[in-house]
Amino acid sequence: MRISDFSALTFDCYGTLVDWERGMLAALAPWLERSGLVLDKSVLLAAYGRHETVIQQEQPGLPYSDVVAKVLGRMANEFDKSASQEEMQGFGSSVGLWPPFPDSHDALAYLGQHFKLVAITNVDNASFARTHQLLGEPFHAIVTAEDVGSYKPALENFHFAFGRIAEFGIARDKILHVAQSLYHDVAPARELDLANVWVDRQTGRGTGMTPPTDAQPDLRVTSLEGLVAVHRAES
């Protein structure tokens, strides 16, 4: 597979372009301090992932910032602690402030010179608007879970994006999906016969917060900078 054979790159964002673990842990710090809860970060992130998946399945139309707020409430219950509405809302509103990975801005700027860039993200419009600014506003089109009314790995989110990309005159077989989550992105991409790249940001640490899957990517890199290097090597 040659990256340069494609015309559009679709991206997962949180976990792929944005260091959601670092952002999430920073946003949780005030609640952790107040509650006196001391947990290894891997335990905390795994709990977040479990509750997020359930809430998204229960309420697929709920904006992501509200999902994140509800996750804190359920985590508090799991660990026999409390979380106020203010703390929950503060955690939910932190999404758009989570920091990009160091290589994301420049890599997207480079790739945008060669491809149409499209975000397929599980967040809400308001949160992603802030994130898009942090990334340097590289995307030619954006598809959010709020737009579609469902969360990846739902196939509807990808079909919605295919429709947007068709407006650029780009056929589906010229789309390459780039993502960190095997569960949310690579597995549905395989189901759709959509070429894909796994950005293995979790190298040596398993699947992180996401549920396990046997899905295998077409190409693996360990950073967005690595994807740029592959494209440059083809030139």
Query: What is the CATH classification number for the domain harbouring 83?
Result: 1.10.150.750
**Alpha-carbon distance 61 to 91, whole Å?**
19
Which pLDDT score, from 0 to 100, does residue 235 have?
Answer: 81
**118-134, pLDDT tens digit by residue?**
999 999 999 999 999 99
Based on the domain organization, do 127 and 204 belong to the same domain? yes
- Burial level of 2, CB count in 10 A (0-12/13-18/19+)? exposed
Based on the domain organization, do 127 and 167 belong to the same domain? yes
Which pLDDT score, from 0 to 100, does residue 118 have?
Answer: 98
- Please name the residue ranges forming H helices in the chain: 20-35, 41-58, 64-78, 85-92, 104-111, 125-134, 145-148, 155-166, 187-191, 224-234
Q: Give the residue numbers spanning the domain of 66.
A: 20-97
**140-161, pLDDT tens digit by residue?**
999 999 999 999 999 999 999 9
- Structurally, the chain folds into a number of domains equal to 2
Based on the domain organization, do 209 and 174 belong to the same domain? yes
Boundary (domain end) residue, out of 41, 71, 97? 97
Based on the domain organization, do 226 and 122 belong to the same domain? yes
- At residue 221, the 3 state secondary structure works out as strand
Based on the domain organization, do 130 and 185 belong to the same domain? yes
Boundary (domain end) residue, out of 70, 97, 124? 97
Catalytic machinery residues: 12
- Quickly count: other Cβ atoms within 10 Å of residue 156's Cβ: 15
**Mean pLDDT per 10-residue run, the chain (235 residues)?**
97 96 95 94 91 95 96 97 97 97 98 98 97 98 97 97 98 97 96 97 66 90 97 94
Based on the domain organization, do 93 and 129 belong to the same domain? no
Closest CA to 200 of 190, 214, 186: 186
**What pTM was computed for the model?**
0.93
Q: Is 80 left (phi over 0), alpha (psi -120 to 50) or beta?
A: left
Which pLDDT score, from 0 to 100, does residue 207 have?
Answer: 54
Boundary (domain end) residue, out of 54, 79, 97? 97
The domain that holds 138 is classified in CATH as: 3.40.50.1000
Based on the domain organization, do 104 and 89 belong to the same domain? no
Based on the domain organization, do 144 and 92 belong to the same domain? no
Based on the domain organization, do 10 and 52 belong to the same domain? no
Which pLDDT score, from 0 to 100, does residue 210 have?
Answer: 73
Which pLDDT score, from 0 to 100, does residue 72 have?
Answer: 97
Based on the domain organization, do 55 and 39 belong to the same domain? yes
Sole residue written with tokens 């919605």:
160
DSSP single-letter state for residue 47: H
Based on the domain organization, do 107 and 81 belong to the same domain? no
- Quickly count: other Cβ atoms within 10 Å of residue 201's Cβ: 20
Based on the domain organization, do 106 and 76 belong to the same domain? no
